[in-house]
Chain A
Amino acid sequence: MQIAPPDFDRMFGALADRTRRDIVRRAIDGEEGVAELAGHYPMSFAAVQKHVAILERAGLVTKVRSGRRKVVRTNLEALRVARRLLDQYEELWRGRVDRMTALVTGSKEADR
């Protein structure tokens, strides 16, 4: 069920909406179909369906068969990929700050 390659613009764009983030959160359990999800929000079935379609195109959720029903399920791997991007950037800057610290602070490290 892996969706490749991930489209990051689409992914972050899809996550920029509060309702869609909430759908992603609820769909982690993967037990509800679009109609049931729609019951959680003060908006029409069509509007929720549209949100789900945007999330689907971004690879964040998939519709999977569960018995006779179709349920919406979050693609956890896609969420992890999005998160990892920012984590990598943080690592880059943490490395830089460590080196900056070595330059401005005492000479303890220089003795090693």
Chain B
Amino acid sequence: MTVTAVRKDPQALTMILEAEFEATAERVWQLWADPRQLERWWGPPTYPATFTKHELAPGSRVEYHMTGPAGDQPKGYWDVLETDAPHRLVFRDGFANDDGTPNDEFPRAEARVTIEDLGGGRTRMSIQHTFPSAEAMEQVLAMGMEEGLTQAVGQIDAILAEGVARSA
């Protein structure tokens, strides 16, 4: 159990999740900074993600798509707002059209990732997610991503385990 706290504020449309890892801040940062590692956890096992453009610098746009069981490929992007490796990453997370342009019909949530060394080889990561409106949140959830969730939660997929062995 690595998730140590979850705070939800329905009025502020904010959710804060904290997790601790037995790893250095630099190692946890790599999960975000290395697109090949990011691909191993961003999408649920049923919707693996592929990052086609990835540079964590303020003002840059990260692009990815997911691949569903029926071959469907929903696209998404992040607009990077702030970076301070290996401690902070702030981005807006949105959906994109088939040609990769931002889909403005779908709202964007802001994610603020904070990574801090706790000493003794432990690191705390907190993610604060803020939605512009409740409707925005509903739309994001309605994208069908939650269908893969039940399978994803608590499940360590064989491919991911392989990745552990490779990256160890």
Number of A-B pairs, beta carbon distance below 8 Å? 132
Which chain A residues lie closer than 8 Å to B21 at the CB level? 100-101, 104-105
Chain A: residues with Cβ within 8 Å of the partner, total of: 36
Report which of A90, A96, A100, A103 forms a contact with B15, defined as CB distance below 8 A.
Answer: A90
Q: Does B65 contact A (CB under 8 A)?
A: no
Closest chain-A Cβ to B7's Cβ sits at a distance in Å of 10
Task: Report A75-102 CB contacts with B as 1/0, cut-off 8 Å.
Answer: 0000000110111111111111111111
The reply on B118 being an interface residue by CB < 8 A is: no
Q: Does B106 contact A (CB under 8 A)?
A: no
Q: Is the CB of A109 within 8 A of B137?
A: no
Q: How far apart are the CA atoms of A90 and B164 in the complex, in Å?
A: 24
B1-30 at interface with A (beta carbon < 8 Å): 2-3, 6, 8, 10-11, 13, 15, 17, 19, 21-23, 27-28
A54 to B140, CA, bound (A): 26
**Which one of A8-16, A34-42, A45-53 contacts B?**
A8-16
Residues of B within 8 A of A16 (CB): 11
**With a CB–CB cut-off of 8 A, which chain B residues contact A96?**
41-42
Given contacts A12-B134, A88-B141, A99-B41, contact A107 B156 (CB under 8 A): no
Whether B71 sits at the interface, judged by CB under 8 Å, is: no
Determine the chain A residues whose CB is within 8 A of the CB of B168 once the complex forms. Answer: 106-107, 110
Give CA–CA (A92, B19) in the complex, Å.
14
Report if A99-B40 is in contact (Cβ < 8 Å); known contacts: A8-B137, A85-B137, A110-B161.
yes
Q: Does B85 contact A (CB under 8 A)?
A: no
Most chain A CB within a 10 A radius of its CB, from B17, B37, B41: B41
What are 23 A-B contacts with C-beta separation under 8 Å?
Answer: A9-B133, A9-B135, A12-B134, A82-B134, A88-B141, A88-B149, A89-B15, A90-B17, A91-B146, A91-B149, A95-B152, A95-B154, A96-B41, A98-B2, A98-B156, A100-B41, A100-B125, A102-B163, A103-B40, A103-B167, A105-B164, A107-B164, A107-B168
Extra inter-chain contacts (16) besides given A95-B155, A98-B153, A105-B22, CB under 8 Å: A8-B137, A86-B8, A86-B15, A88-B149, A89-B129, A91-B149, A93-B127, A97-B19, A101-B2, A102-B163, A103-B167, A104-B31, A105-B21, A106-B164, A107-B165, A109-B156
B-contacting residues of A (Cβ < 8 Å)?
7-9, 11-13, 15-16, 82-83, 85-107, 109-110, 112
